[in-house]
Amino acid sequence: MKKLPIEKLFSLFDDTTEILQEELQTTYLESLAETGENIFQQKIMQSEVSEITKKRLEKKYSEIQLPAYSSEDVRRAFQFAILKGMKENVQANHQMTPDTIGYFINYLIGKFMADQSEISILDPAVGTGNLLMSILNRKGQETRMKAYGVDVDDLLLKLAYTGANLQMQGVELFNQDALQPLFIDPVDAVVCDLPVGYYPDDANAASYSLKKEEGHSYAHHLFIEQSINHTKPGGYLFFLIPNNLFETEEAPKLHEYLKETVYIQAVLQLPPSMFANSQAAKSILVLQKKKPGVKAPKEVLLAAIPKLSNKEAMDRILMKMEKWFKDNKKQTL
């Protein structure tokens, strides 16, 4: 059976990754980052590779010309390879935001920020970059984006760097704890699949309003505060949040902080079928940072997103959302 182009591209990533993995005795994900760099640089960057392996790799690399593929095809093929590597070496912090969520957040950015032709955007927990790349690849041609990503995991960030290069997307990436001071100017928009859990650095957490008085603070609460601090007045934040975000013992403090700093624009519950179990289910939270002249929406957009396969239900939700944008547009400018 004839392979689809994206399958050919995945095979290229996969085959050359396995060759390097065997040669360098590294993990699949580490070798994937290396082979991606080779493809981008159009030469083999690893000096320790034997001549026999070098010839095998060169033959593989010559089989497919990267410019023949769209940025989205490259992202998806690279994503499939990353997912394979993650299955072989499962770690709690090695998770990838599903494509569907990235597409939906891209739609929301387009609706909330329709009047802006230039947008600076930050993902403070960028991981492998899949969420940020899915947004950059699908932005309108008339919109220019300056993108930044931060992650404490050097391997995930290296994969994000390699993926951005292969997709010809300009992104500034920072390998650091995103809850430490960031050397990034305030941005127009933040997107983030919030890392849920406890933040171990109590000394650093003490500088945050949303710190816990005793014990480790919630990392996801601190990420929200840090993101708001790095958003321009009037800018937007698009968070992927756990459904129980406002039900924990720290929720009253979070709610009060949000009340002081932002307007809640939307809470969109994602289909439970998208997640492994009901406890893992998430929603999209859209905030707008307060600014003189900016008003709260007349009503917060609340919706439960149906399965994407349910076209009729999806059409009804989109119609509801379009009406909300029409009725609240003046409020959000």
CATH number of the structural domain spanning residue 68: 1.10.150.470
54 and 83 both lie in a single domain: yes
What is the radius of gyration, based on Cα positions, of the chain?
21
106 and 45 both lie in a single domain: no
What is residue 92's predicted lDDT score, i.e. its pLDDT?
53
- State whether residue 331 is helix, strand or coil: helix
135 and 271 both lie in a single domain: yes
What is residue 66's predicted lDDT score, i.e. its pLDDT?
84
Cross-strand pairs, 287: 237, 264
Asked if residue 113 is part of any domain, the answer here is yes
pLDDT above 90 as % of the chain: 72
122 and 48 both lie in a single domain: no
pLDDT band at 64 (very low <50, low <70, confident <90, very high): confident
Asked if residue 146 is part of any domain, the answer here is yes
The Cα–Cα gap between 6 and 108 comes to 27
Q: For residue range 226-272, list pLDDT tens digits in order.
A: 999 999 999 999 999 999 999 889 999 999 999 999 999 999 999 88
We report the CATH number of the domain holding residue 199 as 3.40.50.150
Average model confidence (pLDDT) across the chain = 90
Asked if residue 294 is part of any domain, the answer here is yes
Question: pTM of the entire structure?
Answer: 0.91
152 and 52 both lie in a single domain: no
What is residue 332's predicted lDDT score, i.e. its pLDDT?
44
Among 195-209, 275-289, 300-314, name the most confident range.
195-209
Domain count, the chain: 2
Asked if residue 296 is part of any domain, the answer here is yes
212 and 150 both lie in a single domain: yes
202 and 107 both lie in a single domain: yes
What is residue 90's predicted lDDT score, i.e. its pLDDT?
58
Asked if residue 93 is part of any domain, the answer here is no
- What range does the domain containing 44 cover? 5-88
Q: Are 116 and 188 in contact (CB under 8 A)?
A: yes
Asked if residue 235 is part of any domain, the answer here is yes
Among the candidates 62, 88, 114, a domain finishes at 88
111 and 203 both lie in a single domain: yes
Asked if residue 184 is part of any domain, the answer here is yes
Among the candidates 88, 112, 137, a domain finishes at 88
Among the candidates 88, 117, 135, a domain finishes at 88
Task: Tell whether the torsion through CA atoms of 56, 57, 58 and 59 is positive or negative.
Answer: positive
184 and 312 both lie in a single domain: yes
61 and 128 both lie in a single domain: no
Burial of 112 (0-12, 13-18, 19+ CB in 10 A): buried
Asked if residue 42 is part of any domain, the answer here is yes
